[in-house]
């Protein structure tokens, strides 16, 4: 969740968020910097600015979806089906795209034990979809680069 500091600015209007103003903070929930909702990633906004923003409904839906898929109670490996109990043994794809038509959308929130990831039967399809989206400019950023590195490491080991 974004933390409000004395010099925090609203990412919508760019003005300071004063202590007496109602503000909303968002978690770092979308790692794909090309996604339209990435502007809200780990950020603060004036409640009044958000109430007028054209993406407010889409943001609310994305946050609901995010909260229903993340957190320790929701960490179940999609390969072995077992609960992922230790954070060091957790690997998640996160929220890759809020665009239903994106080839990455179907992979949102997939979670794995670190050792299970290399056995994922959809890994090659996911790698192709990710590469297509990166090459077309529809996926970028540190989270995407991290996924590409993990896939490359699996290819090297496999």
Q: How confident is the model at residue 156 (pLDDT cuts 50, 70, 90)?
A: low
pLDDT tens digits, one per residue of 65-80: 888 888 778 889 999 9
CA dist., res. 53 & res. 27, Å (int): 18
Tokens 């909702």 — which residue?
37
The candidate with the shortest Cα–Cα distance to 146, out of 125, 130, 128, is 130
Q: What is the pLDDT of residues 105-137, one digit of tens each?
A: 999 999 999 999 999 999 999 999 999 999 999
Which pTM value belongs to this model?
0.82
E-only strand ranges, the chain: 23-25, 44-46, 90-92, 111-113
Task: Determine the pLDDT at residue 6.
Answer: 64
Q: What is the pLDDT of residue 52?
A: 97
Confidence band for 7, pLDDT divided at 50, 70 and 90 = confident
Mean per-residue pLDDT over the chain, rounded: 91
Q: What is the C-alpha to C-alpha distance for residues 57 and 51, in angstroms, rounded to an integer?
A: 9
């Amino acid at each position: 969740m974004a933390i409000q500091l004395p010099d925090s600015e609203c990412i919508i209007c760019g003005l300071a968020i004063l202590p007496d103003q109602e503000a909303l903070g968002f978690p770092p929930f979308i790692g794909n910097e090309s996604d339209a909702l990435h502007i809200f990633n780990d950020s603060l906004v004036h409640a009044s600015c958000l109430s007028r923003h054209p993406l407010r409904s889409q943001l609310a839906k994305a946050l609901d979806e995010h909260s229903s898929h993340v957190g320790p109670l929701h960490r179940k490996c999609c390969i072995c089906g077992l609960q992922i109990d230790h954070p060091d043994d957790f690997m998640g794809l996160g929220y890759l795209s809020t665009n239903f038509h994106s080839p990455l959308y179907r992979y949102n929130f997939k979670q794995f034990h670190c050792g299970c990831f290399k056995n994922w039967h959809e890994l090659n399809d996911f790698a192709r979809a990710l590469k297509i989206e990166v090459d077309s400019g529809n996926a970028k950023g540190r989270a995407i680069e991290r996924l590409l590195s993990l896939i490359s490491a699996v290819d090297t080991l496999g």
